[in-house]
């Protein structure tokens, strides 16, 4: 991906179309719950997000709101290398994405049912990492490759309002 393509995706505001997008849940998927004012980042989070970001734009989403994802990126600045922005689940414009994918630890939200979704085997609350986040990321990357979707290459800045 070249610099122009990176800038185009980074300025996506939810109004233009994306061929594909990957939405990753925050609590229980990427991070633990707060304990003593702090939360842990899942040990495999960076590896999983790196893999995903090679195939489509990655967004954090949370029922707790965009602020929850923004706080996570502030707490762990390395995430910003892979993540475009954070959204409240109910506010993400799924109708603007041809092929939305998501990774979540729970199959509860209506928005999750509108995506091709991988539900993790367990909610992560710190400690040892089972590796299921990386496995879920690989499943999505494989599906994007099989479909020959190239959302990053097909988006141009001129398509943005």
- The distance in angstroms from the start CA to the end CA of the chain is 22
Specify whether the CB–CB gap between 17 and 154 falls below 8 A.
Answer: no
Question: Which of the pair, 157 or 30, is modelled with greater confidence?
Answer: 30
Structure tokens at 84: 């475009």
Decide the pairing of beta strands 97-104 and 18-25: parallel
Please report, rounded to a whole number, the percentage of residues in the chain having pLDDT higher than 70: 85
Enter the pTM of the model.
Answer: 0.86
Confidence (pLDDT) at 63? 94
Mean pLDDT for all residues in the chain:
86
Specify whether the CB–CB gap between 27 and 68 falls below 8 A.
Answer: yes
């Amino acid at each position: 991906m070249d610099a122009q393509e990176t800038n185009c995706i980074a300025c996506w505001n939810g109004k233009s179309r994306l061929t594909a997008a990957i939405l990753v849940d925050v609590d229980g998927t990427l991070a633990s719950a707060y304990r003593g004012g702090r939360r842990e980042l899942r040990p495999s989070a960076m590896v999983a997000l790196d893999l995903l970001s090679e195939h489509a734009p990655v967004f954090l989403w949370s029922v707790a709101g965009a602020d929850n994802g923004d706080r996570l990126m502030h707490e762990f600045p390395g995430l910003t290398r892979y993540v475009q922005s954070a959204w409240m689940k109910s506010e993400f414009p799924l109708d603007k994405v041809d092929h939305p994918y998501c990774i979540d630890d729970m199959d509860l939200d209506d928005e999750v049912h509108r995506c091709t979704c991988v539900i993790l085997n367990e909610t992560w609350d710190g400690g040892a990492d089972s590796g299921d986040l990386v496995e879920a990321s690989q499943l999505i990357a494989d599906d994007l490759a099989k479909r020959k979707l190239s959302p990053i290459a097909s988006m141009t800045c001129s398509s943005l309002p």
